[in-house]
A and B are shown apart, each in its own frame.
Chain A
Amino acid sequence: MSDSTSQSAVDERLKSEGFGARLMKRPELGAIAGVILVTAFFLATADPAMFTLSGVVNFMTPASQLGILAIGAALLMIGGEFDLSIGSMVAFAGLFFAAATVTMGLPLSIAIPATFAFAALMGSLNGFIVIRSGLPSFIVTLAFLFILRGLSLVGLKLATGGSTQLRGVRDAVEGDWLAPFFSGDAFGGLFAWLAENGLIETFKNGAPKVPGFPIEIVWFLIIALLATWVLLRTPVGNWIFAAGGDANAATNSGVPVRKVKISLFMVTACCAALVAIITVMDAGSTDARRGFQKEFEAIIAAVIGGCLLTGGYGSAIGAFFGATIFGMVVIGLTYTSFDQDWFQVFLGGMLLIAVLFNNAIRKRVTGER
């Protein structure tokens, strides 16, 4: 008797689920498969230098700059909204930051928080208009794509007296105690030690070929882990999925949907500001083309990473791999004999495959036929 009662807890309709089936349920599966495929492709066709430490750092640097944006975009997409203005936001925040440091001569400890605060304000404005008007975020943020790009041009000319480039950032931030957190390479000591002990490649004079991790890679990793933690392990994560899955149902269940969505717009804008600060400090100057079309690349990376265009489903780790694929392809093609302009074809193809794949996954998860 006791046997039969203990068995009744097991549903006889449940086929035992293998590891493969479990994996199929994860939104980032497609992106991981993509990374494997792309790696295999370049292992076969590219100069082996691509997969040395300096090669990896080479492609992870642009991947990280895009990836920081892509993770913001992914969170926002899971929450059911888009932000097409993030590319322009990079330019505008870059201008704001450069003007604060060069034109106004502020220290980084003021300029950086001010840039983030300003970006957050613009993000909340986007969010506020979307929530208040009930219009699709697609159209509202498309307006801001142009407004912010235009303002960047106008502002640059004002700040420089007619030029569209603002220089002198490197001199302005020289020696600032905050600078190492947003520019240069991290773990320089570790890399020097590794070089001394012959664990990584060195130049003839003994200096390591890769002096450290470019700081954006570190930020990228931190943000990817943080976003994943929030999504999967905190109530706010649950609210983000709920707000994107069905805003009405979420509201009726007590989820503060408006707050969640406006916060997500702010986070996305701050990701753009972070990329702006890092790249402006790296280049030592800013110009109006900064971040051009990055909104599309970020959304594509998020979609390759498993985000549904309709919201409510996706992953930050997926966006991480989506951006990594991007970096591998852009830089990887230079290690091959292919024409680099294949990049765009590749991009479109990846996007199409990802969308078809995600759609199939969604039907599977919802049991829709």
Chain B
Amino acid sequence: MSEDTKFHHGDVPDRAPIVEMKDIEKHFGNIIALAGVSFDVKPGECHCLLGDNGAGKSTFIKTMSGVHKPTKGEIYFEGKPMSFDSPRDAMEAGIATVFQDLAMIPLMSVTRNFFMGREPTKGSGPLKRLDIDKMNATTMEEMRRMGINLRAPDQAVGTLSGGERQTVAIARAVYFGAKILILDEPTSALGVRQTSNVLATIDKVRKQGIGVVFISHNVRHALAVGDRFTVLNRGKTLGTAKRGEISPEELQDLMAGGQELAELEGSLGGTV
């Protein structure tokens, strides 16, 4: 497995999880999107959440980031029971999420997007105002650290490429000092080079002691950086495996829910 050599994987530090989710269920009317999912994230690890389209991955992380309230189940944050009422709550607790749709506004500038909802100000009283210079400088600097030279901080996000937008979203999440960084399918729309940039970023973030939740339906991307792997299928988990305990083929099978893919693979004569 060539992916193995790419990044350093320490043993998953045996520290207390930052977030622990127990038997989470989420129903939308009569649709059962999640039927009892348990999951936890430890500091400095990359925990991959795998599953096919519609498995419930996005729904699950949205219960973690305060967008949805779980229908049933418990969430513990640093050991204490927790219930987030809004994404703002979760953010303030230290859970930063890069949503699949990126939560960015194409008509607004990179800077305004970067600080959206958490704008730095200067002055006080009625003269309290945006610290535009600081905002612009920070945005340029943080983007440069991620390897992207912005043309100008007032460039509209709508004019950025998919990979650049993804990077803005990640840079924003990391900048605001997250304990947990959730990335919902950050690589699925990216080219090869941009994908490896994002994977390298995950590695960097993890080394800072942040717990990363990496969602993907691509086993190769997950294996490249993951420390632990949880597979979600039709709203249920099929267990969590540590790196080295599971082969890519097994992961692939779990995601597809078993047989069908194995059959397909047989007829195609290779890995899908």
Binding site for B on A (CB under 8 A): 8-9, 11, 13-14, 17, 25, 229, 233-235, 237-239, 241-242, 245-246, 248-256, 308, 312-313, 362, 365-368
Contacts and interface: CB of A to CB of B under 8 A. Distances in A.
A254 B106 contact: no
Contacts of A248: 101, 103
Contacts of B150: 11
Interface in B134-173: 149-152, 154, 156, 158-160
B132 A233 contact: yes
A242 B156 CA distance: 13
Report, nearest first, the 4 A-B pairs whose CB atoms are least far apart. Answer: A366-B158, A254-B117, A245-B105, A367-B159
A366 B165 CA distance: 13
B118 interface: yes
B241 interface: no
Q: Is the interface of B mostly helix, strand, loop or mixed?
A: loop
A243 to B, nearest CB: 9
17 contacts: A8-B149, A9-B149, A11-B151, A238-B112, A238-B119, A238-B130, A239-B117, A241-B112, A242-B117, A245-B107, A246-B105, A249-B102, A252-B65, A252-B99, A254-B88, A308-B107, A367-B159
B87 interface: yes
Contact of A254 (B99, B102, B118): B118
B32 interface: no
Given A14-B151, A365-B156, A313 B107 contact: yes
Interface of B: 65, 67, 86-88, 91, 97, 99, 101-108, 112, 115-119, 121, 128-130, 132, 149-152, 154, 156, 158-160
Contact of B116 (A9, A229, A242, A308): A242
A366 to B, nearest CB: 3
Contact of A11 (B104, B121, B149): B149
Contacts of B107: 241, 245, 308, 312-313, 362, 365-366
Given A9-B149, A11-B151, A249 B159 contact: no
B101 A249 contact: yes
Contacts of B65: 252
Contacts of A253: 87, 103, 116-117
Nearest to A236: B119
Nearest to B161: A367
Contacts of A254: 86-88, 91, 116-118
B173 to A, nearest CB: 10
Nearest to B160: A367
Contacts of A11: 149-151
Nearest to A237: B130
Given A234-B130, A246-B105, A366-B106, A255 B117 contact: yes
Given A238-B116, A308-B107, 7 more contacts: A9-B149, A11-B149, A237-B130, A239-B116, A241-B107, A249-B101, A313-B107
A256 B92 CA distance: 14
Interface centre among B67, B101, B116 (most CB of A within 10 A): B116
A251 B105 CA distance: 11
A242 B108 contact: yes
Nearest to B151: A14
A178 B243 CA distance: 75
B203 to A, nearest CB: 24
B141 to A, nearest CB: 11
A312 B113 CA distance: 12
Contact of A250 (B97, B105, B118, B159): B105
Contacts of B121: 234-235
B81 to A, nearest CB: 23
Contact of A312 (B105, B119, B132): B105
Question: Which of B91, B107, B118, B121 has the most CB atoms of chain A within a 10 A radius of its CB?
Answer: B107
A25 B119 CA distance: 23
Given A249-B102, A249-B103, A253-B103, A241 B108 contact: yes
Contacts of A242: 105, 108, 112, 116-117
A235 B108 contact: no
Nearest to B159: A367
A245 B117 contact: no
Contacts of A233: 129-130, 132
Contacts of B129: 229, 233-234
Contacts of A256: 88
A238 B115 contact: yes
B151 A13 contact: yes
Nearest to A12: B149
Nearest to B67: A252
The CB with the most chain B CB atoms within 10 A, among A229, A234, A241, A252, is that of: A252
Nearest to B87: A252
A249 B149 contact: no
A245 B130 contact: no
Nearest to B99: A252
A309 B35 CA distance: 41
Nearest to B106: A366
A152 B115 CA distance: 44
A235 B121 CA distance: 8
A56 B130 CA distance: 36
Contacts of B97: 252
B158 A367 contact: yes
Given A241-B112, A253-B103, A254-B118, A365 B158 contact: yes
A60 B104 CA distance: 40
B201 to A, nearest CB: 19
Nearest to B154: A25
A366 B119 contact: no
A362 B116 CA distance: 20
Contacts of A238: 108, 112, 115-116, 119, 130
A5 to B, nearest CB: 13
